[in-house]
Amino acid sequence: MKLKNIMIVLFLGILFVGCSTTAISTSATDENGNIITQEYLLEVAMGNVPNAKLVHKFGRHSDVTTSIEPVSLSGNYRTPTTATQLEVVSTDVDDTAGGTGARKILIQGLNSTWQEETTIVNLNGTTPVTIPVNYTRVYRAYITESGTYASQTAGSHQGTLTIEEVGTGNDWAIINIDNGFALGQTQIGAYSIEKGCTGYLMTKFINTDTVRTATGYFFQRQGINETTAPYDTMRLVEQEDGITGSLTVKPQGVIRVFPELTDIGFMARTTQGTAAMSVDFEMLLICDHVVQ
């Protein structure tokens, strides 16, 4: 009986291991296909699925008005058709190599060939530093090295950092200090899908912090690399009216599928007055190449 019991345990163990290694699909499906399971997403997050990654984006606009603007701290999401030379600068001299503030910043976006590019730049305080890679989009930036061991009262950067066009001052992204707390990270409620990738929107969230009624516009524009007419249009994906608190959309399947070379993100306005608004969305990216 003991030998029989041991054999049963061994058989169940082999069966369990076999199921755990074969039950996870290694290819995503489109909006008309199979359900993308939580197990699959976990495997992607662990880096076990080739050419796939999860993209989590969040944005905030502290002063949304009756005019429609992208939900980002700068109020902008720049979308040129050719790569642009950028620079980064702080409002404080201590955000520099060897300083007590931010020393290095990571910039992430699309380069001149519409592929994702990540660049780390050494800061030089209030003196602008040219970013060595020209970008067509910047959708994320954050501090990677600081001269201060940060806490709730001591920040990783001393001033507001701005990524802007060289020679024009046009803001692309901002890392600010909010009520004395250094955030260390941009808040850009938009994203651009690089060449060779498909995006599967999984969840989205909108919040406004006052009694003002706000409207959120989730938009898309395909063919972002087009340089001559006719162009693909910018168009609405979903509109959320009358937002006075929080709205979360988290279905069982995929909300929407977006092809390569597509801008997506949130714009917003109020019906009257001003309000702060924050947004959040998560997307599965499947590419025909290795992703960062």
Give residue-wise pLDDT tens across range 89-115. Answer: 999 999 999 999 999 999 999 999 999
Are 269 and 197 within one domain?
A: yes
Q: Is residue 34, in this structure, part of any structural domain at all?
A: no
The pLDDT of residue 247:
67
Side-chain-facing half-sphere of 44: CA atoms under 13 Å: 23
Are 216 and 280 within one domain?
A: yes
Are 52 and 194 within one domain?
A: yes
Are 121 and 202 within one domain?
A: no
Are 228 and 278 within one domain?
A: yes
Are 265 and 234 within one domain?
A: yes
Place of tokens 């929080």: 246
Q: Is residue 64, in this structure, part of any structural domain at all?
A: yes
Place of tokens 């997050």: 45
In terms of residue numbers, what domain contains 265? 40-71+190-287
* CA neighbor of 108 nearest in space, from 119, 97, 93: 119
Are 120 and 152 within one domain?
A: yes
Are 272 and 135 within one domain?
A: no
Per-residue model confidence as pLDDT tens digits over 160-180: 999 999 988 899 999 999 989
3-state helix/strand/coil string of 118-181: EEEEECECCCCEECCCCECEEEEEEEEEECCCCCCCCCCCCCCEEEEECCCCCEEEEECEECCE
Q: Is residue 156, in this structure, part of any structural domain at all?
A: yes
Are 195 and 283 within one domain?
A: yes
End-to-end CA distance of the chain, in Å? 54
Farthest CA pair distance, the chain: 84
Number of neighbouring beta carbons within 10 Å of residue 248: 10
**Contact assessment for residue 165 and residue 172, using Cβ atoms and an 8 Å cutoff:** yes
Q: Is residue 206, in this structure, part of any structural domain at all?
A: yes
C-beta contacts of 62-67 below 8 A and 24+ residues apart: 62/276, 63/274, 63/276, 64/208, 64/214, 64/268, 64/269, 64/270, 64/274, 64/275, 64/276, 64/277, 65/269, 65/270, 65/273, 65/274, 66/269, 66/270, 66/271, 66/272, 67/269
Taking the C-alpha atoms of residue 241 and residue 216, their distance in angstroms, rounded to an integer, is 7
Last-in-domain residue among 125, 153, 182: 182
**Lowest mean per-residue pLDDT among 4-8, 202-206, 240-244, 256-260:** 4-8
Beta bridge partners of residue 55, listed in sequence order: 283
The pLDDT of residue 254:
77
Are 177 and 210 within one domain?
A: no
Q: What is the CATH number of the domain that holds 275?
A: 2.60.120.1330
Last-in-domain residue among 136, 158, 182: 182
The pLDDT of residue 26:
47
Q: Is residue 50, in this structure, part of any structural domain at all?
A: yes
Are 111 and 198 within one domain?
A: no
34, two tokens = 């199979």
* CA neighbor of 164 nearest in space, from 114, 193, 129, 191: 129
Per-residue model confidence as pLDDT tens digits over 250-267: 665 678 999 999 999 999
The pLDDT mean for the chain works out to 87
Last-in-domain residue among 160, 182, 204: 182
Number of domains the chain contains: 2
290, two tokens = 């290795």
